[in-house]
Amino acid sequence: MISALFFVTGSSFGYFVVFPVGFEFFAQFTSDSISFMPKLSEYLSFALKLLIAFGVAFELPVFIFFLARLGIVTGRGLMKKSKYFILIAFIVGAVLTPPDPVSQALMAGPLILLYAIGVVIAFLFGKRKPKPAVEEPEEESPPAK
């Protein structure tokens, strides 16, 4: 249920926020002699790619939840690697969105926020290490006479 909610939220964000920015980017290349007339198939293809990309990207907290429950990642480890994830988020934004900085930032920003939510989830739901059992010291037997 929560996974579907994240996917729909991501797809909605991609369609209602990023799609208009990306579509406007392509429309900027028009002039008096060139008119902007996209084909329906190209329009739908572009929209579908954005919907799927943002839907999958918004699954990040769910993915981190399962990794934390399996003991593969920890909240502390994720915090230490956050600077690398910020770089990865901007690279993913550059690959999955149109080639303009605004839509790339609109992809990277939510990814970073979702990563932070994932870190909190890893702290809350991560696999706990078992505490070592405290052994009672053996009583020494009295010396033999």
DSSP classification of residue 22: H
Whether the CB-CB separation of 8 and 16 falls below 8 Å is answered with: no
Whether the CB-CB separation of 126 and 99 falls below 8 Å is answered with: no
Q: Provide the angle, in degrees to the nearest 10, between the axes of the packed helices 2-13 and 40-57.
A: 130
Average pLDDT, consecutive stretches of 10 residues, N- to C-terminus, the chain (145 residues): 93 89 77 77 86 91 93 92 94 83 88 94 83 66 66
Integer CA distances (angstroms), 18 to 1, 68, 140, 141, in order = 25, 30, 74, 77
Token output for 29: 């290349």
pLDDT for res 138: 65
pLDDT for res 134: 66
Identify which of 78, 81, 85 has the alpha carbon closest to the alpha carbon of residue 112.
Answer: 85
